[in-house]
Amino acid sequence: MHTLEEIIARVAAALPGARLEIVPNNSPARQPSLLLEPGRAVEIATFLRDDPQLRFDYASNVTGVDWPEKTVREKVKVKKIVGGMEQEAEELVERKTPGFLEAVYHLYSMALGQGPLILRLRTADRSGQVALPSLTPVWRSCEFQEREIFDLFGVQFQGHPDLRRILMWDNFADHPMRKDYAPAGDQEAQP
């Protein structure tokens, strides 16, 4: 099994300028993932599938994750002038990290018996019109699962052959797996 650093080096050698970033995972499972830039995701995915040393020919699990906007409160040391004297004081600063939606791909290699390699794609924000490139042309197994992300999270997959709702009905407007979803008239819902 190649380490993520080796995989990044192989991708960078074959596709100059492709930026990949390691997303650490602190759980005992030790499954860190690779963050791709959406613009070149199809190119990178095709390389990962076809490269004779990697051969990730099987995309097992494809799913979405919603990360809403977060407010982080931090104590920051600020220098203040109080009564002509410079003093150090702590101030509570609120910082907002922007929200985004994520598509996560778990890849395995059936030919070489290795994996998982986890790919992540992130949208710029989490508005109604967010788009990511579809990897269905690379792995057909993404077809229904990307449709499910489109249905439940509201990510438009560009290049998907048949992007329709899959589980909810066609006239349904919302995306139920988003964290802020509240069904109409549900008094118990706690978004």
Partner 1 sequence: MIAPPAELPAPGRVGWADHDLLEVAMGPHHPSTHGVFRMNVVLDGESVAKLTPIFGFLHRNHEKIAERNSYLAAIPYTDRLDYICSMTNNWAYVLTVEKLAGLPVPDRAEYIRVIVGEFTRLFNHACMAGFLLQDMGALGTPLMYAFREREKILDLFEALSGSRMMCNYLRFGGVRCDLPGGWREQAAGVAAAFHPFLDQFEALLSENEILRARTQGVGVLPPALAVNAGVTGPGLRASGVNYDIRKVDQYGIYNRFKFRVPLGARGGDVFDRYMVRILEMRESLAILEQALRDIPEGVFLDPKAKLRNLRPKAGEAYGRIEAPKGELGFYLISDGGPAPYRYRIRPPSLVNLTVLEDMCLGHAIADVVIILGSIDIVLGEVDR
> For residues 60 and 156, which CB has a smaller minimum distance to partner 1 in the complex?
60
Interface residue with partner 1, options 34, 54, 103, 118 (CB under 8 A): 118
**Does residue number 106 form part of the binding site for partner 1 (CB under 8 A)?**
yes
Restricting to residues 36-95, which ones interact with partner 1 according to CB under 8 A? 57-61, 63, 65
* Span of 9-17, 27-35, 37-45, 79-87 interacting with partner 1 by CB under 8 A: 27-35
Distance between CA atoms of residues 60 and 84, nearest Å: 65
Token couple for 54: 């990697």
Reported residue count of the chain is: 191
The separation between the first and the last C-alpha atoms of the chain, rounded to the nearest angstrom, is 41
Distance between CA atoms of residues 102 and 104, nearest Å: 6
Closest CA to 125 of 97, 157, 159: 97
> For residues 4 and 65, which CB has a smaller minimum distance to partner 1 in the complex?
65
- Give the three-state DSSP class for 120: strand
Question: Which parts of this chain interact with partner 1 (CB under 8 A)?
Answer: 25-29, 31, 57-61, 63, 65, 104, 106, 110, 113, 116, 118, 139-141, 143-145, 152, 165-169, 176-177, 190
